[in-house]
Amino acid sequence: MPQAYVPDLSNPAYEGDRDQNASLRLTWQVSSKSKLNLQHQWADQLRDHFYSQSVTNRTQVPTATISYHGQPSYLSQATWNAPVTSKLLFEAGAAFANKDFQYFLHTEEGVTPATPAFSDLGTGYSWGSLGSPYGHNASHNFNAHVSSSYVTGSHAAKIGLQFQHDWAWTTQNVTNNGVTYQLRNGAPTQITQFATPLSLYEITKANIGVFGQDQWTLKRLTLNLGIRFDYYNNYVPSETNGPGPLVPNRNTVFPEVDDAPNWKNVTPRIGGAYDLFGNGKTAVKASIGKYLEGPNLTSFTRLANPAANIALSATRAWGDANHDFIPQCDFTNVNANGECQKLSNVNFGNSIPTTVYDPSALTTRGYNWEVQTGVQQELMPRVSFNATYVRRWFGNLRGTTNTAVTSANYSPYCITAPLDPNLPGGGGYQECGLNDVNPTQFGLVSNVIAVQPQLQQVFDGVDLFANARLSHGITMQGGVSYGRTRTNNCAYADNLNFAFASATGSTAIVAPRTSAFCDVRPPFQPNVKVLIVYPLPWYGIQTAATIQSLPGPQTAATYSITNAIAAPSLGRNLSAGNATVDLIAPGTRYGDRLNQVDFRASKIFKFAAKRRLQGNVDLYNLFNANPVLALNNTYGTAWQRPLQILQGRLLKFSVQLDF
């Protein structure tokens, strides 16, 4: 196994993608006013070397990438509708889905369960075997709904009920008996060890929504009123997890965990449109509504699963004194031994959960309020313009606090950023606001997730859109959108044992803890999209072009530092032997924009009995642009190296037969 990743240009990576699908659909006219639709769909999905799943996959050799086989995978559903009268409609339906994403190792390429996984903190590259857990990711999902609509000329009302029940089952295993290796520019730095194998199981007891909505038209005013009641209750059934290579004595039975969570909420929504001058050419619109957080089992209830919170993984500094790239350690001992230093979590593998929910999080649901206001104006016949402002603010955000330590258990330090013309100011600046837990508290973990009212997250956006349907079949539409999400965690910046889990993703308060890093305000960057349809005046050929201009990828610089870099300011070695520092404040730097033009020409041939054949010619990325879509954000020799660029010009021919 090489000491550092060496590209093998004779063995280029590829992404395999196999999809098989078969479906059967039946329609039964039960009566003149009642129809039943039945459908069953079977699928088989294989994603081999699934590079498109994430940017991180693009820094991995093929054997270290994520691959999965989706089997079983099927969906069965039934829908029924009955227009009882011209004003009254009844609808109902039910569906059952079963799917298992089975992540696997690349045994056909020489990888075995004993093959170690290597990653380099200095370059961001990974090789060897898959360094993350693999196994089953299965789910069953049952959905049902029933509704009734009553519609008149100026009035439309609808009431209904939605129900969901599902469960998730996951197994986790890690190659090399649960030990992966981390290097820094080819030199051994640390290991990560896992308390696998593990089995996890969560169930949605009921996800119920009861709603009523009503629309009234009063002269020039149209009002939309709605209210919804939601009940969401999940639980974790009793589970047993047995021994593993690094937890040989584990044989734990976890009792059932109920009400994880148990949420009951009533949410209103109201909107309206007003014909400003009564001529049907100018409409002023506004709406406000409350929308609830909709987590799935693995994003919320899994954190309440005791089996998922037994400190599945932990890191420890690794010196490799004999230079054989094999850690000579007692992995079952949490203290320093052999070539390995103390574990980053002294509870590693124990049956005592290291992360629990505060009761407030189990009864208080996250939400966001959304306000929209705008105007729609007819500029001339068949030409209109829309301008809309959107503001969305989140509430009941949650954060995680490690109650085993306090801010007094940390020591502050600074580092000097490397000299680099691509860093702010050319690098060489002092970066302070960094903190390292004291060695005596290192490895102590007891996390509590709770609602944190001082966390702030707000989205503001403006959409400008025009639509023109001109003579001779010419259509033009498009516009520009400006928007950004501001996140402010500064109220907790001095609480060194606190991290923020946002409503739109997991976002810790990054290092260093300064205003530039805890108050993230990305710039308002335009997203431009335009569509033009132009029928040529000969041979019935229709052409179309789409134009888009999007912001480039955000630039970051994640810097893995050593004791030699931190010790001059810290006055001692880092407790973990290493640390990760962000050299660029988030939301401040972006790559070049993506500018792309796609083109299509099509021709329709009509035959008897309503048969027709349509031929298409598509040119994707007409001007063969090559903007960078993803960058390597690990600071080092491969920093800012492109991980993904826009696919080159592609010519496609297709036909469609309607009969």
- DSSP letters, 464-514, are EEEEEE-GGG-EEEEEEEEEEEEEE-GGGTT-TTEEEEETTEE---PSS-S
pLDDT at 489 over 50: yes
| pLDDT confidence band for 113 (50 / 70 / 90) | very high
What is the rounded average pLDDT of the residues 524-543?
91
Asked whether the beta carbons of 98 and 104 are under 8 A apart, the reply is no
| pLDDT confidence band for 3 (50 / 70 / 90) | low
- Choice among 179-188, 290-299, 532-541 with the minimum mean pLDDT: 532-541
- The three-point CA angle 563-568-571 to 5° equals 85
62 prior amide bond cis, ω within 30: no
More confidently predicted of 108 and 162: 162
For residue 505, list its beta bridge partners.
502
pLDDT at 424 over 70: yes
pLDDT at 57 over 80: no
- CA distance to 62, 190, 324, 330, 565, per residue, from 182 (Å): 18, 5, 14, 18, 18
Task: Look at residues 363, 339, 311 and name the one whose alpha carbon lies nearest to residue 577.
Answer: 339
The alpha helices in 547-612, defined as continuous H runs, are 563-570
Q: Is residue 4 part of a domain?
A: no
More confidently predicted of 510 and 573: 573
Length of the chain: 659
Look up residue 244 and give its DSSP letter: B
User: How far apart are alpha carbons 581 and 597 in whole angstroms?
Assistant: 39
512 prior amide bond cis, ω within 30: yes
User: How far apart are alpha carbons 141 and 138 in whole angstroms?
Assistant: 10
Which residue type occupies 422?
N
Exposure string of 630-639, with b = 16+ CB inside 10 Å and e = fewer, is bbbbbbbebb
pLDDT at 53: 52
Percentages of the chain per state (helix, strand, coil), in multiples of 5: 10, 55, 35
pLDDT at 254 over 70: yes
pLDDT at 54 over 60: no
Q: Is residue 223 part of a domain?
A: yes
Burial class (CB in 10 A: 0-12, 13-18, 19+), 549: middle
Would you call 106 helix, strand, or coil by DSSP?
A: coil
Q: Is residue 30 part of a domain?
A: no
Q: Is residue 254 part of a domain?
A: yes
Phi, psi (degrees; rounded to nearest 5) at 269: -145, 140
| pLDDT confidence band for 51 (50 / 70 / 90) | low
DSSP 82-96: EE-SSSEEEEEEEEE
pLDDT at 504 over 50: no
What is the rounded average pLDDT of the residues 399-424?
94
Range of the domain at 115: 48-67+79-359
Phi, psi (degrees; rounded to nearest 5) at 564: -65, -30
Q: Is residue 58 part of a domain?
A: yes
| Element housing 395 (H / E) | strand 383-395
Q: Is residue 87 part of a domain?
A: yes
For residue 210, list its beta bridge partners.
161, 229
User: How far apart are alpha carbons 579 and 185 in whole angstroms?
Assistant: 15
Q: Is residue 584 part of a domain?
A: no
pLDDT at 204 over 90: yes
Output the 3-class SS for 595-650: EEEEEEEEEEEECCCCCEEEEEEEEECCCCCCCEEEECCECCCCCCCEEEECCCCE
pLDDT at 139 over 90: yes
For residue 76, list its beta bridge partners.
40, 96
- The tokens describing 345, both together, are 């979590």
| pLDDT confidence band for 11 (50 / 70 / 90) | confident
Strand boundaries in 280-361, DSSP class E: 282-292, 313-317, 355-357
Q: How many CB atoms lie within 10 A of CB 542?
A: 16
Alpha-carbon radius of gyration of the chain: 29
User: How far apart are alpha carbons 605 and 656 in whole angstroms?
Assistant: 10
pLDDT at 507: 39
What percentage of the chain has pLDDT greater than the value 70?
A: 97
User: How far apart are alpha carbons 402 and 444 in whole angstroms?
Assistant: 8
381 prior amide bond cis, ω within 30: no
Q: Is residue 225 part of a domain?
A: yes
Split into its structural domains, the chain has a count of 1
- The tokens describing 16, both together, are 């395999």
pLDDT at 506 over 50: no
pTM for this structure?
Answer: 0.87
